[in-house]
């Protein structure tokens, strides 16, 4: 059993468990699954400036920050206690493509060849980590939600604007991964 | 005079709440109950389980995200698809049986209003998702999993959110 847990979980176990977070949060207290809002709450708490968008009663939304703190803690537990530390097994086509960009280390969830502190000060690392992060924050708030808020919560409640958002997430990702990212990784 | 002031601030507060609720698909807190802060610990436990699943299914892996966007693996589509189906069935059951929260409040679900932001913002977030291999949830999970440099990515995402708030009135919606 514990060996089974330590292996990566198949999609048909993990997917439904992720989906169950929706009713769990609703039943706990009428909370709707969403992670990107936490970024807005952090802005509202730390630097609201004089911006109307950040002036609201964030104390009511504190649950969301407890939730994201839990995510980080859960990830820590999963990696330290529930993992067998095997390299990630990906499609051989991807392996050979990434080899051309000098990415060979599959020991962590994010490739250590790019996502490390020293590469932060290279053009490639800066673009991927800092510009990429900026686009996540700007894009999700502009779209009014992220993968959890639109693609899981919104779709589960049959909201068509969430479907539009989800399709756009995918188009953006497909364009970036296939047509733009290769040039960035070659830098 | 005093009543007018109170009334105005009440209206302003309502409007702000309206903004939080109508434009966001997420984090709509429809509970009217006031609880001490430690009632929030249960959401931390929910997050803890969510974080464990994100790591164990490898959905926070940059490699899995690259596979997904290159159509080289079914894994991510399976995860997202089955998550949506499970959530959809749960929401349907909640509506059908009018299930209440553990505090007895009726569960409310809100409509999401369409805005052009879902297109423009969606595309921009898609770029960021493919670059970092993470969406907001996985950012927190990656930090917890030990890739500490993602703290910088998270700070940058917070900056992106702030810049959006700053230019919001000038952007097409």
Cβ B65–A175 below 8 Å, yes or no?
no
Cβ A26–B101 below 8 Å, yes or no?
yes
Cα separation values, B12 from A10, A16, A34, B19, B78, Å: 48, 40, 25, 11, 44
Bridge partners of B100, per DSSP, are B106
Q: Mean pLDDT over all residues of chain B?
A: 86
Cβ A138–B160 below 8 Å, yes or no?
yes
Q: d(Cα A57, Cα A19) in Å, to the nearest integer?
A: 28
Nearest to B123 among A42, A82, A172 (CB): A172
B71: left (phi over 0), alpha (psi -120 to 50) or beta: left
Question: Which residues make Cβ contacts (< 8 Å) with residue B84, sequence separation at least 6?
Answer: A19, A151, A152, A155, A156
pLDDT surpasses 50 at B9? no
Q: Which candidate, A105, A100, A39, A92, places its Cα nearest to that of B27?
A: A39
The beta-strand segments (E) located in chain A are none
Cβ atoms of B116 and A161 closer than 8 Å: no
Q: What are phi and psi of B106, to 5 degrees?
A: -70, 140
pLDDT surpasses 60 at B20? no
Residues of B in Cβ contact (< 8 Å) with A148: 26, 135-137
Q: d(Cα A1, Cα A58) in Å, to the nearest integer?
A: 42
| Among B3-7, B81-85, B115-119, B165-169, the least confident range | B3-7
Bridge partners of B106, per DSSP, are B100
Q: What are phi and psi of A121, to 5 degrees?
A: -95, 10
Whose structure tokens read 């917070």? B158
Cβ atoms of B125 and A139 closer than 8 Å: yes
For A61-89, the pLDDT digits (tens) are 999 999 999 999 999 999 999 999 899 99
Q: Which candidate, B83, B159, B92, places its Cα nearest to that of A134?
A: B159
Residues of A in Cβ contact (< 8 Å) with B145: 75-76, 78-79, 108-109
Task: Provide the token pair at B120.
Answer: 């423009």
User: Counting runs of H as helices and runs of E as strands, what totals does chain B give?
Assistant: 7, 0
Rounded to two decimals, the ipTM of the complex is 0.96
pLDDT surpasses 50 at B68? yes
Nearest to A136 among B62, B102, B160 (CB): B160
So what's the pLDDT on residue B29? 59
So what's the pLDDT on residue B12? 37
Residue-by-residue pLDDT tens, chain A, 187 positions: 888 899 999 999 999 999 999 999 999 999 999 999 999 999 999 999 999 899 888 888 999 999 999 999 999 999 999 999 899 999 999 999 999 999 999 999 999 999 999 999 999 999 999 999 999 999 999 999 999 999 999 999 999 999 999 999 999 999 999 999 999 999 8
- For the four alpha carbons of A32, B141, A151 and B74, in that order, the dihedral sign comes to negative
pLDDT surpasses 50 at B6? no
Nearest to A29 among B53, B65, B101 (CB): B101
Tell me the mean pLDDT in the region B125-152. Answer: 97
For B22-61, the pLDDT digits (tens) are 444 444 556 777 888 899 999 999 999 999 999 999 999 9
pLDDT surpasses 80 at B158? yes
pLDDT surpasses 70 at B124? yes
pTM of the full structure: 0.91
**How big, in percent rounded to 5, are the helix, strand and coil portions of chain A?**
70, 0, 30
* Residues B158-172 as b or e (16 or more Cβ within 10 Å = b): bbbbbebbeebeeee
């Amino acid at each position: 059993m514990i060996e089974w847990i330590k292996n990566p979980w198949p999609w048909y176990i993990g997917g439904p468990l992720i989906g169950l977070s929706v009713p769990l949060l609703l039943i706990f207290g009428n909370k709707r699954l969403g992670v990107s809002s936490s970024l807005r709450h952090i802005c509202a708490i730390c630097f609201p400036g004089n911006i109307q968008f950040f002036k609201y009663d964030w104390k009511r939304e504190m649950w969301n920050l407890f939730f994201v703190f839990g995510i980080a803690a859960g990830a820590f537990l999963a990696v330290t206690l529930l993992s067998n530390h095997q390299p990630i097994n990906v499609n051989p086509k991807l392996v050979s493509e990434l080899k051309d960009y000098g990415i060979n280390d599959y020991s962590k969830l994010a490739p250590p060849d790019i996502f490390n502190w020293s590469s932060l000060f290279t053009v490639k690392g800066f673009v991927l980590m800092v510009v990429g992060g900026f686009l996540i924050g700007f894009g999700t708030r502009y779209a009014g939600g992220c993968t959890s808020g639109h693609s899981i919560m919104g779709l589960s409640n049959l909201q068509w604007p969430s479907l539009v958002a989800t399709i756009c997430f995918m188009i953006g990702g497909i364009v970036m991964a296939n047509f733009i990212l290769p040039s960035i990784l070659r830098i | 005079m005093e009543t007018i002031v109170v009334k105005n601030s009440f209206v302003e507060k309502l409007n702000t709440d309206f903004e939080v609720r109508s434009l966001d698909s997420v984090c709509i807190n429809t509970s009217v109950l006031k609880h001490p802060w430690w009632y929030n610990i249960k959401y931390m436990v929910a997050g803890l389980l969510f974080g464990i699943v994100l790591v164990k299914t490898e959905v926070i892996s940059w490699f899995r995200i690259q596979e997904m966007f290159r159509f080289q693996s079914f894994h991510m589509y399976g995860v997202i698809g089955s998550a949506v189906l499970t959530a959809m069935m749960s929401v349907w059951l909640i509506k059908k049986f009018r299930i209440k929260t553990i505090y007895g409040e009726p569960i409310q679900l809100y409509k999401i209003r369409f805005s052009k932001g879902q297109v423009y913002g969606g595309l921009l977030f898609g770029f960021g998702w493919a670059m970092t291999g993470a969406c907001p949830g996985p950012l927190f999970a990656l930090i917890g999993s030990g890739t500490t440099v993602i703290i910088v990515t998270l700070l940058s995402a917070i900056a992106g959110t702030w810049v959006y708030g700053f230019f919001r009135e000038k952007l097409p919606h």
